[in-house]
Amino acid sequence: MIEVTRNVPVEPEHVFAVLADGWSFAGWVVGASHIRAVDEGWPEVGTRIHHSVGPWPAAIEDVTTVTAMRPNAAITLDARLWPVGAARVEITLRPSPGGGTHVVMAEEVVRGLGRLAPGALQALLLKPRNDESLRRLEAIAVGRVRQPHPPASG
């Protein structure tokens, strides 16, 4: 598995809140360009995000499914992108000493043509992409804590 890590200066529940907001997926996952739908109950095991990857009009429509989840601690996803294949993505959150969250994102291509690529080539492609995804995840989590949305008036 290709692993990247990041220390985020907010508590795990704030980072997990971004992961639990399926509509924010395209905001932090590099390559995801559009969210078409999020299953009710996301991020419960078996729920899916229906997304597009790549630029319009050549975007590929596919889904990402939750295969395991522990609130405020971890989520495992089956991220599909056919014909390239599918990857298992594990994101774990641990409280950092002194505050904040240590985030680990591990990805492994598990199905499709992408499995044929040597591990070094997969790392060359996935590591920078996943580093940037964690930077974006951090920015959203920190931004939500620093500038929470006011309640909607009705």
Domain boundaries, the chain: 2-146
Phi and psi dihedrals of 8, rounded to 5? -110, 130
Task: Find the range with the poorest average confidence among 89-93, 107-111, 147-151.
Answer: 147-151
DSSP secondary structure letter of residue 22: G
Given a cut of 60, whether residue 131 has pLDDT beyond it is: yes
pLDDT band at 149 (very low <50, low <70, confident <90, very high): low
Average pLDDT, the chain: 89
| Cis peptide bond prior to 128, omega within 30° of 0 | no
21: tokens are: 């907001």
Using the predicted structure, report yes or no on whether residue 32 has a pLDDT greater than 60.
yes
In this structure, the dihedral spanned by the alpha carbons of residues 53, 65, 116 and 52, taken in order and rounded to 10 degrees, is -10
CA-CA distance, 9 to 99, in Å (whole number)?
7
* 138 or 32, higher pLDDT: 138
Helices (DSSP H) in 7-118: which residue ranges?
Answer: 12-19, 25-28
Query: For residue 86, what pLDDT is reported?
Result: 87
Check whether 154 has a pLDDT greater than 60.
no
Verdict on whether the full-model pTM lies above 0.75:
yes
Separation between Cα atoms, residue 138 and residue 128, nearest integer Å: 15
CA–CA gap between residue 37 and residue 63 (Å, rounded): 9
The H-or-E segment that residue 60 falls in is strand 60-70
CATH number of the domain at 2-146, please? 3.30.530.20
Please state the length of the chain. 154
